[in-house]
Chain A
Amino acid sequence: DIQMTQSPSTLSAAVGDRVTFTCRASQMIYTWLAWYQQKPGKPPKLLIYDSSTLQTGVPSRFSGTMSGTEFTLTISSLQPADSATYYCQQYNTYPWTFGQGTKVEIK
């Protein structure tokens, strides 16, 4: 199975900060990676698919990039509404696998 490793586990930043967190795949998954945002008591929400394509309706402050097996989610200007846990997920190969999540807290 493909292992997805996210870092950091927790991130604390101020409103307006640029924040970046990463997801590393244990093997090549090409561009087949999605990012989800999950707030407490809510289902996950798709933010980005195909590693860098923004889902319709998602604010443009979110962006995704890839380099080999390392993927990055960036929030260009952190907002209070961005307080959540973010998960990456590969869909290159079954079984699909998620990273363990990065929790973003607002200072």
Chain B
Amino acid sequence: EVQLLESGGGLVQPGGSLRLSCSVSGFSFSNYRMNWVRQAPGKGLEWVANIKQDGSETYYADSVRGRFTISRDNADNSLSLQMDSLRAEDTALYYCARGMTVWSGFYFMDSWGQGTLVTVSS
């Protein structure tokens, strides 16, 4: 069974930093692109970042580029999101999601964790 478990969320002051982790099981982690997606309270979904299987390519939403860094450790089956210079508008539930492609090389997100809540407030 595919499982993704996020951790590391919490309360942080504006301008502060936080590191989220996603531990996975039930699939060969190194074979999949991975993503972070967030959802502010009561709001819609916002894709945050994506990382290639070997970590050689990363992509970011405009709203987080330069402040957030996605990384992975294939030996440890873990995904991370380093969040710096946090702002109130970064307050959200952060999901990790597996990137999947069937044949095209275009990836969608087929499995999601339960999320970890990040609150940025003084």
Contacts and interface: CB of A to CB of B under 8 A. Distances in A.
Interface residues of B, number: 24
A11 B76 CA distance: 44
Interface in A41-93: 43-46, 49-50, 53, 55, 87, 89, 91-92
Q: Contact size class for A? A: 20 to 34
Chain B contact residues: over half helix, strand or loop, or mixed?
Answer: strand
A95 B46 CA distance: 10
Given A43-B95, A43-B112, A43-B115, A95 B47 contact: yes
A contact face: mostly helix, strand, loop, or mixed: loop
B47 A32 contact: no
Given A43-B95, A55-B110, A96-B50, 6 more contacts: A38-B45, A46-B108, A89-B45, A95-B47, A98-B47, A100-B44
Interface of B: 37, 44-47, 50, 59-62, 95, 100, 102, 104, 106-115
